Chains A and B, each alone.
Chain A
Amino acid sequence: MGEILTALFEGIRQIFVWPVPLAMVGGIVIGLVVGILPGLGGIGTLALFLPFVYKMDPPFAIAFLLGMHAVCCTSGGLTAVLFSIPGESSSAATLLDGFPMSQKGQGAKACSIVLTASMVGGVIGALALALSIPVMRAIVKAFGPAEFLMLVTMGITFVGALSGKKPFIGIACGGLGILLSLIGDDPITGTVRYTFDWVYLWDGLQLVPLTVGLFAIGELLEYGIERTSISQEVDKKFKMRWDQVWEGITYVFKHLGLTLRCSLIGMVIGAVPGIGAVVAAFISYGHAKQTSRHPEEFGYGNPEGVLAPEAADNAKEGGALIPTIGFGIPGSAAMALILAVFMIIGIKPGPEMLTKDLSLTFTIVWTVALANVIGAILALTWVPFMARVTNLRAGILVPLVLILSLLGVSSRGYPEDILMALFFGVVGYVMRLMDIPRAPIVLGFVLGRMFEINLHLTLQIFGPGFLLKRPIALVLALIIIFTIAHEVRSRYRIEWRQRNGAAS
């Protein structure tokens, strides 16, 4: 016990040795700025700064890169709320309710919820990282292809069934997302599918043009054609909405139970290698809707729908570090880069991190926790200014959103990416006009490849009756069936009541 306490204090001491705090704050500021730009996500930025790590000391490198990575997903939620542009793919869940809040003139409150929930989630994730490395070994080992397959299915069907008015159309949109993800090289057989001899499609459709098109350009077309601003609240005077910022902060602490549950969901999903932030965010969103007293308000600006995915999104970073540090298995693509950083600076992930290098493990824990707190505090001071953006007139707003969107899309330098974003922009605009949910397409697309690989592996290893051989997969399958049945039943009951009410 004494050894752990010594390591705990040594870990925090290393963070405050000059110039490590400077590195952390620098990393945090870069992370917040980069998170705002779609297409320049955390992974791209980590890769960009990787070459500089060679000249850094371990605590300096950890503070800089982990500080930067820990807050990338925080600011991605802000653009999702303000412009309907998810800065990170996991922020797609946040915009479902965050953007309608901005439209109602509650942009500052939504941003404040994003930041506070991210902070609490990030700290919980870091604490979980500190406490659960020995326990998580068993959990991570219990997950094989069959369980991954069911988790992926769960993510897609939950979002499909829970968003929009028609559960079956929502699930079918998730299916369409999976089908779109199949374009390009087949990971199993190497067959090139659905490219129609267009070389650009050999690499498959790209996530950024799809997401930016469906959401950002879809919204932009609406504001351009209608010549309106995002917020429907008439607010001519320049008023700093500090009241909304405070409201958002207190909202998270008033709903601490939901914040804690979603953080734990994020942490556990983050700890399972390969599942990723998007599933964590959407499963938390589904959980929030199922446990809410006002599920009918979801999709129309319910603050719980903003809180849940953001808490999970930041908590999953701590979770993802568990297999990375404990077993040297990266929990995500970003963690693979963090693992590379560890190797470069001479840190050897594995059991030694719990014994010989325990103080370094605690440096990592403290960095993640502090980065989330500092990042949230820094960003909270900007919120009232940022929220003013929702009141900008269309003549300024539309060009701003257009260039931000197309810049993010252009990061590969291919003009086809812009064309794809514009095409999906029109699709997103039509879906918006028809009130059809767009999030299931994005989620299906993100998880499609994983679905395919795990389906093939599961059938090869366990055969078609895999559910009978894998109890965890069976439980997950039952949860999926129960949730969909419950959702469909409640939707049709509401519709039936409305019809009968209208008839009488």
Chain B
Amino acid sequence: MVQRRNEILFGIFLAITILIFIGASFFYSPKARLVPLVIGFFSLVLVLYQIFTDLAARKSRVGDEELLSQSKVLSGFSFAAGCGILVLLCGFFGSMGIILMGLTRFWFRESWLASITITASLLIFSYLLFTMIFAIDLYPGAIPSFVISLLPE
């Protein structure tokens, strides 16, 4: 029953997302909105049918339900948001250093030595592979870019 309620919630979320795509498509030319409308309406009908079927089946049995673990979703969202902000501010290597060190030492409670070893080895691997071998410039970050711009040429 927990699962059914979750599926209804997901169905509603999916229906709203599809509706946004359908609604926004009316700003484009008839040719450009053909596929969004065809796929959007078809998918919407399927989702709505599923939601109503699940709702009908749920009516008979209520009581033993609980919502999707909100604390888990909140933790996941917070981690992703924190990572995103750090990447924007500190760049790839800076943010990864902070995230990996923080995760290993404070979340997983590894020893300081293990945390530093894991973080350093992964960062060195990334640097060697991407920067040295493939010559790919990873995002430097807002703060390092600002600091570098202050340095005399």
Residues of A within 8 A of B (CB): 40, 48, 166, 168-169, 171-176, 178-179, 182, 186, 188-189, 191, 193-194, 217, 221, 224-225, 227, 393-396, 398-400, 402-403, 406-407, 410-411, 413-415, 418-419, 422-423, 425-426, 429-431, 433-436, 451-452, 455-456, 499
Contact = CB atoms under 8 A, between A and B. Distances in A.
Interface string B96-112: 10011001100111100
Interface string B44-55: 101101100000
Contact of B129 (A172, A224, A407, A414): A407
A179 B18 contact: yes
19 contacts: A168-B47, A172-B47, A175-B39, A175-B42, A179-B17, A179-B21, A186-B28, A189-B28, A224-B79, A395-B109, A399-B122, A403-B100, A403-B122, A410-B92, A419-B84, A423-B84, A426-B77, A436-B10, A455-B34
A-B residue pairs, 10 tightest by C-beta? A175-B43, A395-B108, A422-B80, A191-B32, A168-B46, A172-B43, A434-B6, A221-B76, A415-B139, A395-B110
B153 interface: no
A90 B76 CA distance: 27
A435 B38 CA distance: 27
Nearest to B3: A435
Contacts of A169: 7, 10-11, 14, 46-47, 50
Contact of A423 (B11, B32, B80): B80
A227 B107 CA distance: 9
Contacts of A422: 80-81, 83-84
Given A166-B7, A423-B80, 20 more contacts: A40-B134, A168-B49, A169-B10, A172-B14, A172-B50, A175-B39, A178-B35, A193-B28, A193-B36, A221-B76, A398-B108, A403-B122, A407-B129, A413-B136, A418-B83, A426-B73, A433-B72, A434-B6, A436-B7, A455-B35
B149 interface: no
A433 B69 contact: yes
Nearest to A415: B139
Nearest to B40: A179
B68 interface: yes
A448 B48 CA distance: 22
B143 interface: no
B116 to A, nearest CB: 12
Contact of A434 (B10, B32, B75, B79): B10
Interface of B: 3, 6-7, 9-11, 14, 17-18, 21, 24-25, 28-29, 31-32, 34-36, 38-40, 42-44, 46-47, 49-50, 57, 68-69, 72-73, 75-77, 79-81, 83-84, 87-88, 92, 96, 99-100, 103-104, 107-110, 114, 118-119, 122-123, 125-126, 129-130, 134, 136-139, 141
A448 to B, nearest CB: 8
Contacts of B25: 193
A456 B18 contact: no
B103 A399 contact: yes
A20 B71 CA distance: 58
Contact of A418 (B42, B81, B107, B139): B139
A431 to B, nearest CB: 7
A410 to B, nearest CB: 5
Contacts of B130: 407, 410-411
A104 B81 CA distance: 31
Contacts of B81: 422
A167 B97 CA distance: 43
B96 to A, nearest CB: 6
A394 B103 CA distance: 10
A144 B68 CA distance: 46
A426 B29 contact: no
Point out which of A169, A419, A451, A456 has the most chain B C-beta atoms below 10 A from its C-beta.
A169
Contact of A419 (B10, B17, B43, B87): B87
Given A166-B50, A168-B46, A402 B110 contact: no
A406 B96 contact: yes
Contacts of A172: 14, 18, 43-44, 46-47, 50
A429 B72 CA distance: 9
A433 B68 contact: yes
Contact of A171 (B28, B43, B109): B43
A399 B118 contact: yes
